[in-house]
Amino acid sequence: MLEIKAFVKLLDILKKHDDGQYLAKSKKDVDPSYLHNNNCLMEFYSQFELKHLTIQTGVSSISFIDYLNLKERNTKYSFSSLKEQDYIVLSEQTGGGDPILFNFLDNNSTPSIYAAYDVLEPFKIANNFLQFIEALTVLVDIVYNEYDIYEIYTNDDCDEIKPEFLSKIDMKLSPILGENIDGFMRYFYG
């Protein structure tokens, strides 16, 4: 599966900066009905141990929700535009809040990826999981390897992000995300 290969590429970048173990010791059994019988999600959650996976974006960090906590974490969110059976929250900002989710309402086999701030309705950031993982991999590569995670700001006393950082991210992600670039950038960098 392309999504699994793309996720392994993302983990390879993260492992250079973190000793976390994200591959499951043995394949886990997952409930296919809870995962919308989606082959990609079933493979994803059976192969990866996500409990300790946190990704720094330079501004904040997002944590992937591991399979054992998936049902519990998903009950923390409610959106007027989506019924509970239409989405699964994949990740959220560390500590909870601002979720990234699979939206199954459009297409069960390749759900769109949406993001939300706690008080706002979800907005689209990627057409599918593969597109999201590829964009996240590019973002992580730049943030971790070119800007040493928190060196994206103009100076130590400022919350202003370096314009060259934002333009580099935009330039590299636009071909991957297309029309979703604005939503992706809004979620990660305001």
- pLDDT tens per residue, range 68-89: 888 888 888 888 888 888 999 9
Domain that holds residue 129: 54-189
Residue 182 falls within a domain, yes or no?
yes
- Note the pLDDT of residue 34: 87
Residue 43 falls within a domain, yes or no?
no
Contacts for 96 with CB less than 8 Å, ≥ 6 apart:
73, 76
Which residues on adjacent β-strands are paired with residue 134? none
Residue 8 falls within a domain, yes or no?
no
Residue 20 falls within a domain, yes or no?
no
- Note the pLDDT of residue 94: 86
Distance CA 26, CA 47 (A): 8
Residue 103 falls within a domain, yes or no?
yes
Residue 112 falls within a domain, yes or no?
yes
Q: What is the domain count for the chain?
A: 1
Residue 133 falls within a domain, yes or no?
yes
Distance CA 113, CA 110 (A): 9
Residue 185 falls within a domain, yes or no?
yes
- Note the pLDDT of residue 114: 95
- Note the pLDDT of residue 132: 97
CATH number, domain with residue 95: 3.40.1580
- Note the pLDDT of residue 90: 92
pLDDT digits (tens, 9 = 90+) for 123-148: 999 999 999 999 999 999 999 999 88
- Note the pLDDT of residue 77: 87
Ranges under pLDDT 70 in the chain: 19-26, 118-119
Contacts for 24 with CB less than 8 Å, ≥ 6 apart:
46, 47, 48, 49
